[in-house]
Amino acid sequence: MTGAGGMLGRAVVEAATRRGHDVRGQTRSQLDVTAAGDVERALDKARPQAVVHCAAYTDVDGAESDRATAEAVNATGAGNVAAAAAAVGAAIVHISTDYVFDGSKREPWLESDPTGPLGVYGESKLAGELAVARANPAHTIVRTSWLFGAGGRNFVDTMLALGAQREEIAVVVDQVGCPTWTGHLAAALVRIAGQPGEPGIRHLAGAGSCSWYELAREVFERAGLDCHVLPARTGDVPRPARRPAYSVLSSERPDAIALPPWRDGVAEYLATRVAV
């Protein structure tokens, strides 16, 4: 698998190892997915049955001023991995994002809904989806949402740090999505890699939905932090990249996989932090 040093990649390695799989994880320093030759040699040597492709450029705001890198990693790199996997007869499970949608719906987005990314990050991830589908017939493209977990920058950790320092914080209330714990998602990705099912796109995120404001309140309540959360509008907190106002994901696939509720993910993640 690629991206083994990242937040989701670490969780996938742990989940696959627990299930007894022979895991060959490659970190960014070990494998540059933008170098097609290196990717081909790595997969030819490993000869995997399936590749879980977690490597990605995930800086949503940074992508606005660094389109070249975002596209090289998220589009070209994804295509390189998919093609190299196909060359050795391996299926690919490619991780994508809710940011391929424009957020204009007010009901959950399904796999067949039209895409319309609002920023460079979403555009690069959509281009990656297309590159993967072209390069490898045995593909599963997993769109997920609002990831949090150990080993990487994420909203939950940011809130924990700010909540310990401040008495009050303003958090956006008019963006709604599906917070997803990497521990829950990773287990499902390993299952898909072992039994891919019908190729194509699959939506997979924490059950239920909330705003960033509601997520912050849940984190503070469960962590026992006495920090008051004020609702803010997106326009009050300007960012370089536009975000979809509503990016709740659901699935129309007959073989849809349901993840646990997002609140359970928060609780389990906080429990793992305390245990460490």
Active site (catalytic) residues: 121
Q: Which amino acid is at 180?
A: T
As a whole number of angstroms, the distance between CA 85 and CA 34 comes to: 14
Q: Which residue has the tokens 């909203």?
A: 155
Q: What is the CB neighbour count within 10 angstroms for residue 226?
A: 8
Q: Are strands 147-148 and 180-181 parallel, antiparallel or unpaired?
A: parallel
Q: What is the CB neighbour count within 10 angstroms for residue 63?
A: 25
Specify the DSSP element, H or E, that contains 147. Answer: strand 147-148
As a whole number of angstroms, the distance between CA 52 and CA 142 comes to: 10
Contact 82, 131 (CB under 8 A): yes
